[in-house]
Amino acid sequence: MLFRLVDKYKKKYSFVHYSGVCFWKNLANFVGMKKSIDFLPEYIQCDLHELVGLIREEIKDVVMIILYGSYAKGNYVIHDIQIGPNGETTEYHSDYDIMVITRKRLGEREGTVEMRIRSRFAEGKDANDVTKVQLVSESISKLNNALSQGHYFYVDVINEGIALYDSDDCELATPRDLNYTEIKQLAERYYQGSLQKALDYWEDAIRNIENKKYTHSSFFLHQATEYLLKSIPLVFILYRYKEHDLDFLLEKCKCHTLELVNIFPCKTKQERHVFDQLCKAYVEARYNDNFVVTKEEIDALVPKIELLKQTVERVCKERFDYYDSQIEK
């Protein structure tokens, strides 16, 4: 698709799709929100144009599209390799973080629609070069309720994000700023709930392992891992991701800490296979009678998840200490 920036429309409109579909309408309702991505390289602007078009094609009742995260803040990373103390390497690159606001919840079709958008965006692009797209969808009522309550994640999206599209059909509630005492209280409550679920699933997994039900135990190991990973964004941004995809959750933790990356190394074919077995277990262990997880694979996973638990507890404690330091100021 051919896109171009039309200078004469900059004051009234942000971007125009040259085939005749207007992407970004008047953004006057976004008081306080940034409205331009001129500071981003041209190829990134083109990517964002394309994504706006795909989202509007796939989700008919979209009312707002907001770019947030590192690309909105200007601290994005195209590609970075860090070497750990033991010589292990960690690769990192920023994703396109986009919030899609709809009139009504997408409900059960949310995952399918988002997968289709990602797939269409990746078509014709080099798999090694295409930037990953992370979509968060919320109804306008859920967003406004969260803003009114001062939920950090949503407030940050509005304060730091860039409006990519506005239908002019809805207005945003005025965000309420939480103080650090409130942030810590919420973070601790969310963390305890998520951690307890992880521990409950861990106990179920161990019980099944002791009974040599290895495939069945893999589902509970997946769930323990999922809730441990979800604890990080809950503590850092007070947001609970809906996804069950462990790869996705690991990616979302990277912007808060890189300490989890090497817990599940996938440098070798065997390491990738073992992690894939854990990822597949969420569905396959319950619904596919032909899915098998061996004792050897479980033996490889258990110490990794134990290390994940220890690391998550330490990283979250450090974050709580940070909140305390801000409260004392």
Task: Please state which of the four CATH numbers 3.30.420.40, 1.10.10.10, 3.40.50.170, 1.20.120.330 is assigned to the domain occupying 180-327.
Answer: 1.20.120.330
Question: What confidence score (pLDDT) does residue 5 get?
Answer: 31
Is 3.30.460.10 the CATH number for 3-166?
yes
Question: What confidence score (pLDDT) does residue 115 get?
Answer: 87
User: Do the beta carbons of residue 205 and residue 304 sit within 8 Å?
Assistant: no
Reported as a pLDDT band with limits 50, 70 and 90, residue 86 is low
Domain 3-166 matches domain 180-327 at the CATH topology level: no
Least confident of 104-118, 136-150, 155-169, 240-254: 104-118
Percent of the chain with pLDDT over 90: 61
Query: How many other C-beta atoms are found inside a 10 Å radius of the C-beta of residue 315?
Result: 18
Sign of dihedral through CA atoms 298, 299, 300, 301? positive
Question: What confidence score (pLDDT) does residue 85 get?
Answer: 57
Question: What confidence score (pLDDT) does residue 7 get?
Answer: 32
User: Do the beta carbons of residue 98 and residue 138 sit within 8 Å?
Assistant: no
Question: What confidence score (pLDDT) does residue 298 get?
Answer: 98
Question: What confidence score (pLDDT) does residue 9 get?
Answer: 29
User: Cα(219)–Cα(287) distance, rounded to whole angstroms?
Assistant: 11
Q: Which residues pair with 96 in a beta bridge?
A: 133
Backbone angles phi, psi at 317, to 5 degrees: -60, -40
Bigger pLDDT: 142 vs 254: 142
Q: Is the pLDDT of residue 144 over 90?
A: yes
Least confident of 18-27, 191-200, 231-240, 292-301: 18-27
150-174 average pLDDT score = 90
Q: Is the pLDDT of residue 241 over 70?
A: yes
User: Cα(269)–Cα(249) distance, rounded to whole angstroms?
Assistant: 21
Give 252: exposed, middle or buried? Use CB within 10 Å, 0-12, 13-18, 19+: buried
CA 132 to chain centre: 11
Reported as a pLDDT band with limits 50, 70 and 90, residue 262 is confident
Domain ranges of the chain: 3-166, 180-327
9-37 residue pLDDT tens: 233 333 333 232 333 333 334 445 778 99
User: Do the beta carbons of residue 229 and residue 194 sit within 8 Å?
Assistant: no
Bigger pLDDT: 6 vs 263: 263
Question: What confidence score (pLDDT) does residue 13 get?
Answer: 32
Q: Which residues pair with 62 in a beta bridge?
A: 102
316-327 average pLDDT score = 95
User: Cα(327)–Cα(329) distance, rounded to whole angstroms?
Assistant: 6
90-122 residue pLDDT tens: 666 789 999 999 998 887 677 788 889 999 999
Reported as a pLDDT band with limits 50, 70 and 90, residue 300 is very high
Q: What is the mean pLDDT of the chain?
A: 86
201-220 average pLDDT score = 98
314-320 average pLDDT score = 97
User: Do the beta carbons of residue 170 and residue 133 sit within 8 Å?
Assistant: no
pTM greater than the 0.85 cutoff: no
Give 321: exposed, middle or buried? Use CB within 10 Å, 0-12, 13-18, 19+: exposed
